[in-house]
Chains A and B, each alone.
Chain A
Amino acid sequence: MIVSKLYWKLLKKNGFVFIFYLGIFLMITILTAQSLRNNNTQYEDVKVKVALYDEDQTTFTDNIKDYLKDYVVFKDIDRNRVDDAFFYREVEVVVIIPEGFTTNFFNSDVANINIKVLPESTKAFTFEQVINKYLNLVRVYQDNDLINEDYHTEIKEILAKEVMITLPESNLENYILVHFYYNYVAYIAFALITTLMGTIMATFKSLDIKRRNNIGSISNRKMNLVLLVCNTLLGLGVLGILIVLSIILYKDLIFNLNTFYLIINSLIYTVTIIALTYFIIALFDSRQIIGAIANVLSLGSAFITGVFIPQEFLNKGILYFAQIFPSFWFIKANDYLADLTHFDLAILKPAFQAFLVQIIMAIVFIGLSLIISKRKQLAEN
């Protein structure tokens, strides 16, 4: 009881670390959710975000804008700010219809709309496809004397004809949000557990405190057992809070078998991280070094194992190296599980293999920590 009381007292002292990480995690999750939110049950064209500045101001340029509004997303951006907006892709195409464009279009062969785009990007291609389609039809109408009062409406009607699009019924709506959340758990759980556990356990590692504890009535064995229970409770508590948060944030999306398996994966991962933290604590005595290693490992592994950047975009060599981190197998299992629509043993096999690797890693970390601790204890005695 005394040991566990002390443990929770130390934890309370480090409460701000917990709140800080959780706060940042929530902000990033909510902000990312805005950019990831899309509807997978219904097809939608990827619309290019456009800031348009019309310096010509004619009926023809009004018609162009009227046509474009169905195919692009217009953004009303102050012209002084448009370069920043373009860099951060609040707009993907900056369009300037120059003065005299209408006259040039109808009376000469050279008429151009100025655009600022990332050259050869898909967004540039898509926008050019959309605008050229309309302007080429106007040209065909004009060259063949087909222009009449309603030509704009006629062309719009022709361009409104679209192929039929169908989607498989099983597509999960917006599940990418839950998927992203649980991938990010890899970083937050790692950072929180190693930082908190590292700080608390380093307190018990001071030689003076160890010697004081040795002469106390509580045996070392009992004390280590209580600390192990407290550490496990801490790890599971962190995970529990993250799971509750996910239910609050995504209550409409979360209740399915995919989430059930994602939670099992998170549980195994948490145990592995606890074991890894024990290993780090066994290796190093200084609180500063433990904190530094915890920070570098949690952030570093998040970058190279697919937490921050999807595994599919990472270099093969880096991914090969990343396999030594539990988060690689955690993300691999998450990515696989989030896409599943049918669940049976054969289909789940790759996920179970990733679970197994994490469990083996946990056993190895625990084994190594025991060996190192025993050796250090013998040396101290």
Chain B
Amino acid sequence: MRIYFTRLKCLIRDKGNLFWAIIFPLCLGTFFYLGFGRLTMDSFIDTIDTYVASDYYSDLLVSQMQEVKINTDKPLFNVNVDKTKAELEQLLQDKKIKGYIYVENNEITYRVNGSGVDQTVTKGFLDQYLQISELIVKVSTTNPEKINDVINDLAKQRSYVKEILSGSNPKANRLNVYFFALIAMACLYGSFWGIGLVRDIEADNSPLAARVNITPTHKFKLIVTYFLAALTLHFSGNMMLVLYLKYLLQIEFSNNLLLIILTSFVGTIGGITFGAFMSILVKGTPEKKEGIVNIICLFLSFLSGLMFLDVKYFIDRNIPFFSYVNPASLLTDSLYSLYYYNSLSRYFLRLSILAVLSLIFISGTYFKMRGNRYDSV
């Protein structure tokens, strides 16, 4: 117990690691939130500002546009007919408006400064206006006796689609994956404590470790105690991050806080054991090991979508094996599964794989470290 508390004290004094493992994720989470915490990458239908040239317009077209509704109380178009074609052209050139409509010799022209959703919706309406006129002309020439019935039927537009909910939450916001990837990165930054664990136990790593090696305490006991101290500190940091994101910044997670905590716990173990394992694999000074592990952690986080969301999906789709062995992807995916899917099977699969990976890391570290004897350090 004494070793545990002494170790915990040592870890708290390591300001560099404290910054990277605890403060940096909190800062990054704040920046994510300030940048896109309240944004969504999807656009929602809203009233579109539409301009019709006051010197080239059709009464019927304008009145039809004013009648279209998104729902009972929201019109689809806010039609402006107070500017001339020349004025609107200037506004279009200055990119102040996205497009305008004018009617010349009964032909409708929609002048736009580029493609876009607003332009597509407006064009969709204008097309339909033309198409209905076309049908009426066609029926009045081929079946004139039916024209009134056809016009009446055309007025009764109905919807043939029904929105369904199945298996997952359609309103889920993709941008939240950045926050999940951030938690994964924070867990992975537990690697620094893992490196510290090896540095302070392996005699050829530091004078302190050489001193520790000549004590009668069993190496296994040392590894476990150091690991528990690192786990305590890093898990507390991760919990701070999760609670800060979920309750202070109000980021949407799954409602199952217990499973989020479990993910963070397994992730913390994964991070520390990963660092210890890498520290055993990489030869060199602890600074060199930290540098390499830092780059690897950042790269794994990058692949799990931390810097660019589409990277995660690209890897999941094209190199799925990599998603199953990348601890950052497994963690991000666990939190994503909890948030998006109704079923928990995918979540538990990812978390189990991470637990197995952690076991491999810690066993590898122990088997490589046990029984090491030094003639001279």
Interface of A toward B, CB cutoff 8 Å? 16-17, 20, 24, 27-28, 31-32, 35, 38-40, 43-46, 83-84, 86-90, 96, 105, 111-133, 135-137, 139-140, 143-146, 158-159, 161-168, 170-171, 288, 292, 295-296, 299-300, 303-304, 308-309, 313-315, 318, 339, 341
- One digit per residue, 1 when the CB lies within 8 angstroms of any chain A CB and 0 when it does not, for chain B 23-36 equals 11001101110111
Contacting pair A162 B115 (CB below 8 A): no
Contacting pair B164 A87 (CB below 8 A): no
B353 at interface, CB cutoff 8 A: no
B residues within 8 A CB of A116?
Answer: 163-166, 170
Report Cα–Cα, A51/B313, bound state, in Å: 17
- Listed A/B pairs (26) with beta-carbon separation below 8 Å: A31-B311, A32-B308, A45-B124, A46-B115, A88-B174, A88-B309, A89-B41, A89-B174, A90-B317, A96-B164, A111-B160, A113-B160, A115-B162, A117-B170, A124-B45, A125-B121, A131-B160, A139-B158, A163-B108, A163-B109, A163-B127, A164-B107, A164-B108, A165-B109, A165-B110, A292-B16
Assuming the contacts A114-B164, A309-B35, asked whether A122 and B45 have C-beta atoms less than 8 A apart, the reply is yes
Interface of B toward A, CB cutoff 8 Å? 15-16, 19-20, 23-24, 27-28, 30-32, 34-36, 38-39, 41-45, 70, 92-93, 95, 107-117, 119-121, 123-128, 130-131, 134-135, 138-139, 143, 146, 149-150, 153-154, 157-168, 170-172, 174, 291, 295, 298-299, 302, 307-311, 313-314, 316-317, 336, 340-341
Contacting pair B24 A292 (CB below 8 A): yes
- Which of A123, A161, A296 touches B127 (beta carbons < 8 Å)? A161
Contacting pair B161 A292 (CB below 8 A): no
Report Cα–Cα, A121/B150, bound state, in Å: 31
Report Cα–Cα, A120/B44, bound state, in Å: 6
Contacting pair A135 B113 (CB below 8 A): no
The distance from the CB of A235 to the nearest CB of chain B, in whole angstroms, is 22
Assuming the contacts A112-B162, A136-B158, A167-B111, asked whether A299 and B42 have C-beta atoms less than 8 A apart, the reply is no
Contacting pair B24 A296 (CB below 8 A): yes
A residues within 8 A CB of B45?
Answer: 120-122, 124-125
A residues within 8 A CB of B171?
Answer: 118-119
Contacting pair A86 B170 (CB below 8 A): yes
Contacting pair B128 A133 (CB below 8 A): yes
Assuming the contacts A162-B130, A163-B110, asked whether A299 and B28 have C-beta atoms less than 8 A apart, the reply is yes
Query: Could you list 13 further interchain pairs (A-B, Cβ under 8 angstroms) beyond the known A24-B299, A139-B153?
Result: A20-B298, A43-B115, A96-B164, A112-B160, A112-B162, A118-B42, A123-B117, A132-B161, A163-B126, A163-B127, A166-B112, A171-B113, A315-B38
Assuming the contacts A116-B163, A116-B170, asked whether A122 and B41 have C-beta atoms less than 8 A apart, the reply is no
Report Cα–Cα, A346/B171, bound state, in Å: 46
Contacting pair B161 A115 (CB below 8 A): yes
B residues within 8 A CB of A143?
Answer: 149, 153
Report Cα–Cα, A310/B222, bound state, in Å: 51
Assuming the contacts A111-B160, A146-B146, asked whether A40 and B34 have C-beta atoms less than 8 A apart, the reply is no
The distance from the CB of A18 to the nearest CB of chain B, in whole angstroms, is 12
Report Cα–Cα, A309/B167, bound state, in Å: 31
B residues within 8 A CB of A166?
Answer: 109-112
Across the interface, name the chain B residue whose C-beta is closest to A95.
Answer: B161
Across the interface, name the chain A residue whose C-beta is closest to B16.
Answer: A288
Report Cα–Cα, A47/B312, bound state, in Å: 24
Report Cα–Cα, A29/B246, bound state, in Å: 31
- Which of B119, B134, B157 touches A43 (beta carbons < 8 Å)? B119
